[in-house]
Structure 1
Amino acid sequence: MRHAGRDDDRHDPDRQGRHPPCRAEIPAPGREDGVSERVFVVAAGATSFGPMPDVDGHELARQAVCAALESSGIDPAEIGIACAGHAYQGPCFGQKALMKIGLTGIPIVNVENACASGATAVQTVVNAIRAGQAEIGLALGAEKLTKPGGGFLPIVADDLESSMGRVMPAAFAMIARLHMERYGTTPEQMAGVAVKNRRNALRNPRCHLQKAVSVEEVLDAPMIADPLTRYSCCPVSDGAAAVLIASEVAARRLCDAPVEIAASVLNSGLRTPYGIVDDRSEMSIRAANRAYEVAGLGPEDVDVCEMHDPFTIAELVHYEDLGFCAPGEAGRMIEEGRTEIGGDVAVSPSGGLLAKGHPLGATGVAQIAELFWQLRGEAGEYQVPGARVGLAHTVGGGVTKLESGACAVHILTA
């Protein structure tokens, strides 16, 4: 079905001429240097998300990696490179976690990119496979946030905005107020996002929050940052996820139905000549435009999307950023059920960050794992019928001296 907003000029490549090219983007298919230009996900594994007081981050990572290996029968000795995404797990986290399964001696890279750390790990492995550094690579994401003192962003002491209360919920509350003022978006429409994602989560045993809520319950919940209530915000979670990524030759040997990563794009915020940092929407729009271009697809082709939705308003704004609807139409889109499983594009059928949880470093890798299962028809009760194209969208930073953070968009095809 053709989506509203397909002709929105924000997704016109010509409009992007005002920005310099994104240096972190991978080259489009069709390279002539003899290096593998197609990469595939061949296995995925994940822990449940939620409070796990008796399990440390290294053990969570081990469980996710072992789940991916066991589901595929791939020998760990075949892995030629690994990358671990995390935000607050300390130095050499990947080495310590992978030592538990005897995976040593190979290049192990640790990346931190705020909430986009896991997605950055995926892109790092994709680029390594494309460059011929390995035939098989492991992307791992993990986070332990429910330890004492966890669940916050440790920002530098001289940050004025955070000292004045501009923390994440407050920042998104301002985004919500702006969207309400500009487009007439209602609190009920925002609450509809939480209702949808909580309903999806009931079908996914890995989810942190396993309780349905109504629009009224969302609106009546304790206020966090007006107009966002407790149920408008994602929970603080522990968890880990892992995916195995391979070249085309290795993928055909290892997997009967590999899922191709048709586009892997990473960018960061830009400063204009006036010193203004572009916002989350601009990062998402630029990353999505490039990903669609690389994959040779458009927003109307996407069947399932795992979206960065830590707050209800974030999901609505990103409907518009990713081209699923025109600016100002997101409220109507959720109201009409067009992002439900079976709708125009199923958004966050896993439950999303709002219900599945958001263990920062794990999130981006878990999104890829979810799309892998969806495109292979293995998502169980929350399977999107006939899904052939999936999009994963992750944003890191965007507040308190993280304004120029990161946005990653991956497009997967069956």
Structure 2
Amino acid sequence: MRKVAVVGAGMTPFAEHFALGMKDLLPMAYADAAHSVDKGIEKSDIEAAWFGAMGTTDGFPSGVLADSLGIPDIPVTRIENSCATGNDAIRNALYGIASGAFEVALVMGADKIRETASKAMLWEWESASRDMAWDYPLGVVSPAGFALHVNRYLHESPATREHMAMIAVKNHRQGANNPKARLQFEITIEQALEAPTVVTPFGLYDCAPQSDGAAALILASEDAVDRYTDRPVWVRGVGLGLDSVMHQHKIDMTAFPATTRAAKRAFRMAGMTPADVDVAEIHDYFTGIELISYEDLGFADRFEGYKLLETGETSVGGSLPVNPSGGLKSKGHPPGATGVAQCVELFDQLRGTAINQVENARVGLAHNIGGPSAVSAVTILEGP
């Protein structure tokens, strides 16, 4: 397969965009990405698009993208894979270019859920991505489903709610100066621990805010990359992993096998190991997910992820900064856009232009998990 690079990346702020629809957000994100292309790009250069979206109140997603960007002459493929949607869209676009079918492609992710009609759609997503025999009828929607995992993890490991609070504090601190993050303020350990309970063991500050937003990446083949930049960010590895949907079928509730499977595939494709990663954007829809994912991604031994927090390794300035953007926890979580936005952050990190720049960052990893824990996607990027 041919090598594939990211040559442009951009996104909208993640927020409550009550006055803006998908037809507004998509052109905003594309314009931001096109502006970042060093040598410029025309829409006529784009030969195909992949659109990650859980759904839209504006109409048929692929048609909305083609219409709002004025690109009806190219194929647009809609990807939906729960919260792993964004990174899965990147995976599909990579194969389209690497195979030789296209030279330049657009990857976009977007969702709009902070309005009445979309809140109803959110519950439709919940029912569509959970087991309908047991989980959903019993109320095991996203917070409850992940709470089952994290409760068991806290029971079997030395980790505590204080370690989860440390993740919340870290990600709020790192997102406080991100102009595109929804929650631009810091919190304390005490605030995190004393916040109202959402579902045990999650307090309010353990949960990411559902948000509206869009993100875009422009990908090019190794044969075309020089037309657009002398500083490409290469897509070195991608992986998708699956696991049982029904919680009663999961062998071990203290880990996410989907993440382990996705990571192994991505690292094998990249010819790398977890030790090669300099910066990561990890799915922290709930703080406990980030903690467990340290281990599933290979950054820590089993039940020892908490040690990375105690030594400050996952903060900016540590050996493996995690979520320097603020993560989902601070930045927000429009499901279709999240994985693409993670790679927007890594694009900036690996080119040395990020808000919370990680010194000498060369390799970045993006990770999502969803469904609620039945699918995971991992993308590994390498800087110029």
Shift, 1:158, TM fit: 5.0
Query: Which of 284, 292, 299 pairs up with 1:324?
Result: 299
Alignment of 1:65-104 (within 5 A): 65-72=30-37, 73-89=40-56, 92-104=60-72
Partner residue in 1 for 2:77: 109
Alignment correspondent of 1:42:
7
* Corresponding residue for residue 325 of structure 2: 350
Match of 2:210 in 1: 236
TM-score, normalised by the number of residues in structure 2: 0.92
Query: What is the CA-CA distance between 1:118 and the residue it aligns to?
Result: 1.3
Q: What secondary structure, in the 3-state scheme, does the structure 1 residue paired with 2:224 have? A: helix
Within a 5 Å distance, the mapping from 1:8-407 to structure 2 comes to 36-72=1-37, 73-89=40-56, 92-151=60-119, 152-154=122-124, 155=127, 158-269=132-243, 281-380=256-355, 382-398=356-372, 404=374, 406-407=375-376
Quote the residue 2:380 is aligned against. Answer: 411
Deviates more, 1:144-153 or 1:78-87: 144-153
Q: Map Cα deviations across residues 104-157 of structure 1 (whole Å, 9 max, x no partner).
A: 211111111111111111111101001111100000000001011535341169
Match of 1:5 in 2: none
**Deviation (angstroms), 1:198:** 0.1
Report the Cα distance in structure 2 between the residues aligned to 1:47 and 1:133, rounded to whole angstroms.
29
**CA distance in 1 between partners of 2:114 and 2:140 (Å):** 22
Are the aligned partners of 2:51 and 2:65 in contact in 1 as well (CA < 8 Å)?
no
Q: What do residues 155-176 of structure 1 show as CA deviations (whole Å, max 9, x unaligned)?
A: 1695532232212111222222
Whole-Å Cα distance in 2 between the matches of residues 278 and 177 of structure 1?
Answer: 12
Preserved CA contact (<8 Å) 1:145 1:237: yes
Task: Measure, in 2, the Cα distance between the counterparts of 1:408 and 1:165.
Answer: 26
CA contact (8 A) 1:270 1:277 kept: no
Shift of 1:271: 8.9
Structure 2 SS opposite 1:203: coil
Distance 1:43 1:224, change over 3 A: same
Aligned 8 A contact 2:178 2:325 in 1:
yes
Secondary structure in 2 aligned to 1:110? Answer: strand
2:377 alignment partner AA: A
One-letter code of the match for 1:66? A
What SS does the aligned partner of 1:394 have? strand
Contact 1:270/1:278, CA 8 A, preserved across alignment: no
Contact 2:183 2:332 in 1 (8 A): yes
Q: In structure 1, what is the Cα distance between the partners aligned to 2:187 and 2:275?
A: 30
TM-score calculated relative to the size of structure 1: 0.86
- Residue 365 of structure 1: how far off its partner (Å): 0.6
Q: Distance in 2 between matches of 1:260 and 1:270?
A: 32
The answer on whether the counterparts of 1:41 and 1:258 sit within 8 Å (CA) in structure 2 is: yes
* 1:201/1:210 contact within 8 Å kept: yes
Is the CA contact (8 Å cut-off) linking 1:42 and 1:259 kept in structure 2?
A: yes
| Alignment check: 8 A CA contact 2:14 2:211 kept | yes
SS, match of residue 136 in structure 2: helix
Runs of 5+ unmatched residues, structure 2 = none
What is the rounded CA distance, in whole Å, between the counterparts of 1:164 and 1:188 in structure 2? 29
Q: CA RMSD in A?
A: 2.0
The residue identity in structure 2 corresponding to 1:94 is S
Contact 2:242 2:261 in 1 (8 A): no
C-alpha distance in 1 between matches for 2:251 and 2:221: 37
**More moved, 162-171 vs 202-211:** 162-171
C-alpha displacement at 1:184, in angstroms?
2.2
Alignment partners' CA distance in 2, 1:111 and 1:293: 24
- With over 3 angstroms needed to count, the CA separation of the structure-2 counterparts of 1:82 and 1:278, relative to structure 1, is farther
Whether the aligned pair in 2 keeps the contact of 1:389 and 1:413 (CA below 8 Å) is: yes
Deviation at 1:250, TM superposition (A): 0.9
**Whole-angstrom CA distance in 2 between matches of 1:218 and 1:244:** 38
Give the letter aligned to residue 162 of structure 1.
Y
Q: Residue 278 of structure 1: CA displacement?
A: 7.8
Answer whether contact 1:59 1:97 (CA < 8 A) is retained: no
The 2-side partners of 1:376 and 1:261 are apart by 14
Aligned partner of 1:132: which letter? G
CA contact 1:86–1:111 (8 Å) conserved in 2: yes
SS in 2 for 1:150: helix
Checking the alignment, whether the CA contact within 8 Å between 2:48 and 2:105 is kept in structure 1 is yes
Separation in structure 2 between the aligned mates of residue 107 and residue 187 of structure 1, nearest angstrom: 47
What's the CA shift for 1:204?
Answer: 0.9
